[in-house]
Structure 1
């Protein structure tokens, strides 16, 4: 993991880096305690250049009002906010239509048949005799025929 130096964090605090770099720095802060400490030191060192709040209590109230406005805006349903293909109902309808289509075409039936054939034990196929067994059987048959010929001669 790459760590950023104190000087790099100081540039970040003074907003002397590009927007893309700022995003990388911010992402890194979520995962690195060492860099978070360096960032906090840079903020403390640059504290004199930050704006001074004249009425801290009023500032907190204003922030809380803005937060509540944001919550109300996000809680209010806005159907025009998302296109139809990004809404959950569209996905449910699409899944239902695909299920009905697959049922009507018999895809599920063939899939079930295939699964049953895999799960059930294979039918015992007729055992083909090996070459050795064939030779032995023919030898015994030949010997039996010889014995029968000898028996017939007597």
Structure 2
């Protein structure tokens, strides 16, 4: 089994390889313990190269932004973030959707759409029942026919 070198795993971690090569490497990891260890080292090496956080209070600043909705200015990198409350129109509100659904339901109810649907279902059920006998009735008829044939054979056997 051919092992993949550390430099190639670094390229894989950085996303510098072609997609088909990445898939080959991923499939190789399923069967090679040595390459899993090398891959883990490449990930560790890459994590050391990541940049440091924006500032020491970055997490606190973001949490303040999320909770308070005020504007946040990160002095370290000049990143400006803000959370603005968007105004939604009445058409996008939940109460409008509930009112529209209730209105359509009432319209369909009073126009008779639901009544005509139940009539269609009743007609369908009646025609389905008229066309086919029930399973119990079919089994009963076959059993009676079998008994009748058996009785006729017994009478013929007794007469001979």
TM, length-normalised to structure 1: 0.40
Structure of higher CA gyration radius: 1
TM, length-normalised to structure 2: 0.39
Q: Which has the higher contact order (CA 8 A, sep 6+)?
A: 1
